[in-house]
Amino acid sequence: MRNIDIQSIKQRFGIIGNSPLLNYAIQVAAQVAPTEMTVLITGESGSGKESFSKIIHQLSPRKHGQFIAINCGAIPEGTIDSELFGHEKGSFTGASDTRKGYFEVTDGGTIFLDEIGEMPLATQARLLRVLENGEFIKVGSSKVQKTDVRVVAATNVNLINAVEKGRFREDLYYRLNTVPITVPPLRERGEDIYLLFRKFASDFAERYRVKSITLTPDAVEELLSFRFPGNIRQLKNIVEQISVLEYDRELDAAKLRHYLPREQGGSQVPALLAREHGADQSFSERDLLYKVLFDMRRDVSDLKKLVYELMTRQPGDNELLKEHSHLFENIEQLNHARTYKSADKPEPYYLPVQQPRDEEDYEERVEDISHETEEEGLSLESMEKEMILKALKKHNNKRKYAANDLGISERTLYRKLKQYDIEN
């Protein structure tokens, strides 16, 4: 086995840290780089997976060839085949010219497919053919073309679970996973957290022409005990925020806590932020609150539709209520309603069916319910649109970072932009 100088690799690619898990991942990347083997890099979002793809390319015989990094989750499903494999003129609406895809352009080089778990199943089948035979067909063409491209893929999701749920091809998973590299999350890298903090503090001090932020010993302990669910990306954002907002350039543990999201029950997901001294709630808190409302939307709509249908039925017709009785559990207003009695089941509550006083009264009731249901949908949709607009504004219309804030893929964000006719 050839001797690998891990320290020189870190210096060359700007990697900070001495964690044994990090060093092992670098060693595997360096060992596999001179080969033609396909590599699958796994790790949480923000842990630095793209750096390992660059190590593999730069230390390989393909280093003079082209390197392209592609975020599979950022390309709309309808155009991803064209982006990767190219298309012929007139093959679909808007295809005014023949276009080369990334696999043709990168012939002799390396393609890094980030968020491979977001790739559509049809595209996965095309990718498998490239990996197996080095062949692909442009969209709208019948001619088989050859390419010599090395594929390095990355994901932050469990592909085994995706395979079991039918979202990812099993044969493609095993073809990609020839050599697995696991990038450790920041919380498992120990003292590397403080090393990265100091590096970011120095960088931002130089950028904003201020004195570098330092930490007291108790603040260092506080920093090392935080789990950083957003990994290196989250740490970098926190250091930048402190560098810009904090007047005191030395922080103790109490001051540092103001910038660290509070965790609940050891969860790796950041809890709702509750800033002190009247600070505004963060965007992520509003995001979570909106999501709760969206999750409630379907149940509320179903309930209103059910009430609407009940009002159109004759009194005493409880078949629909029996079928949907679970919707009315724990509703205080139904304490005096009629019940469906059964010897084997608890007695669920039913809404009383009241006959309208006259035809005019009946029509007013139906109109009110229909109008309320429509307003509920419009209200929630406007909230979702507002959330998307604020995310885009916050990140200067950069969809990738806006999607990260919203907790959705760029493909989903793209569909939402189309749905709400938002110009980006």
Burial degree of 246 (CB within 10 A; 0-12, 13-18, 19+): middle
d(CA 318, CA 328): 13
- The distance from CA 313 to its chain's CA centroid, rounded to whole angstroms, is 45
Token pair 């390319």 is found at 57
Band of pLDDT at residue 397, cut at 50, 70 and 90: confident
Distances (CA, A) of 267 to 43, 188, 263, 300, 349: 18, 15, 6, 29, 37
The reported pLDDT for the residue numbered 417 is 85
Taking the CA atoms of residue 40, residue 45, residue 47 and residue 53 in that order, the dihedral angle to the nearest 10 degrees is 30
Q: Look at strands 144-146 and 135-137 and give their pairing.
A: antiparallel
d(CA 355, CA 362): 8
Side chain identity, residue 172: L
Contacts of 212 (CB under 8 A, 6+ apart): 201, 202, 204, 205, 243, 249
The reported pLDDT for the residue numbered 370 is 52
- CB of 113 closer than 8 Å to CB of 152: yes
Q: Do 6-184 and 187-271 fold alike per CATH?
A: no
Distances (CA, A) of 368 to 308, 364, 373: 10, 6, 9
Instruction: For residues 211-232, give the mean pLDDT.
Output: 93
Q: Is residue 283's pLDDT more than 80? A: no
Domain 6-184 falls in which CATH fold?
Rossmann fold (3.40.50)
pLDDT digits (tens, 9 = 90+) for 227-239: 999 999 999 999 9
What integer best gives the mean pLDDT of the chain? 79
d(CA 421, CA 297): 22
Instruction: For residues 250-264, give the mean pLDDT.
Output: 84
Q: How many CA atoms lie within 13 Å of 48's alpha carbon, on the beta-carbon side?
A: 23
Residue 132, Cβ neighbours under 10 Å: how many? 11
The reported pLDDT for the residue numbered 201 is 94
Band of pLDDT at residue 28, cut at 50, 70 and 90: very high
Domain layout of the chain by residue ranges = 6-184, 187-271, 286-317+353-419
Contacts of 78 (CB under 8 A, 6+ apart): none
The reported pLDDT for the residue numbered 403 is 81
Q: Is residue 199's pLDDT more than 90? A: yes
- CB of 109 closer than 8 Å to CB of 62: yes
Instruction: For residues 360-374, give the mean pLDDT.
Output: 51
Range with the largest mean pLDDT of 88-92, 155-159, 312-316: 155-159
Higher pLDDT: 275 or 307? It is 307
Q: Which of 95-99, 144-148, 275-279, 375-379 has the lowest mean pLDDT?
A: 275-279
HEC secondary structure over the chain: CCCCCHHHHHHHHCCCCCCHHHHHHHHHHHHHCCCCCCEEEECCCCCCHHHHHHHHHHCCCCCCCCEEEEEHHHCCCCCHHHHHHCECCCCCCCCCCCECCHHHHCCCCEEEEECHHHCCHHHHHHHHHHHHHCEEECECCCCEEECCCEEEEEECCCHHHHHHCCCCCHHHHHHHCCEEEECCCHHHCCCHHHHHHHHHHHHHHHHHCCCCCEECHHHHHHHHHCCCCCHHHHHHHHHHHHHHHCCCCEECHHHHHCCCCCCCCCCCCCCCCCCCCCCCCCHHHHHHHHHHHHHHHHHHHHHHHHHHHHHCCCCCCCHHHHHCHHHHCCCHHHCCCCECCCCCCCCCECCCCCCCCCHHHHHHHHHHHHHHHHHHHHHHHHHHHHHHHHHHHHCCCCHHHHHHHHCCCHHHHHHHHHHCCCCC
Backbone angles phi, psi at 293, to 5 degrees: -65, -40
The reported pLDDT for the residue numbered 59 is 95
Return contacts of 330-337, CB within 8 angstroms, 24+ apart: none
Q: Which of 84-98, 112-126, 319-333 has the lowest mean pLDDT?
A: 319-333
Q: Is residue 111's pLDDT more than 90? A: yes
Q: Is residue 131's pLDDT more than 80? A: yes
Strand partners, 137: 144
Contacts of 370 (CB under 8 A, 6+ apart): 308
Q: Is residue 183's pLDDT more than 90? A: yes
The reported pLDDT for the residue numbered 54 is 94
Band of pLDDT at residue 354, cut at 50, 70 and 90: very low
Is it true that domain 187-271 has CATH number 1.10.8.60?
yes
**Model-level pTM?**
0.61
Q: Is residue 254's pLDDT more than 80? A: yes
Q: Is residue 281's pLDDT more than 80? A: no
- CB of 19 closer than 8 Å to CB of 184: yes
* Closest to 107 (Cα-Cα) out of 85, 129, 122, 80: 85
d(CA 409, CA 253): 35
The reported pLDDT for the residue numbered 267 is 42
The reported pLDDT for the residue numbered 269 is 43
Band of pLDDT at residue 113, cut at 50, 70 and 90: very high
The reported pLDDT for the residue numbered 342 is 38
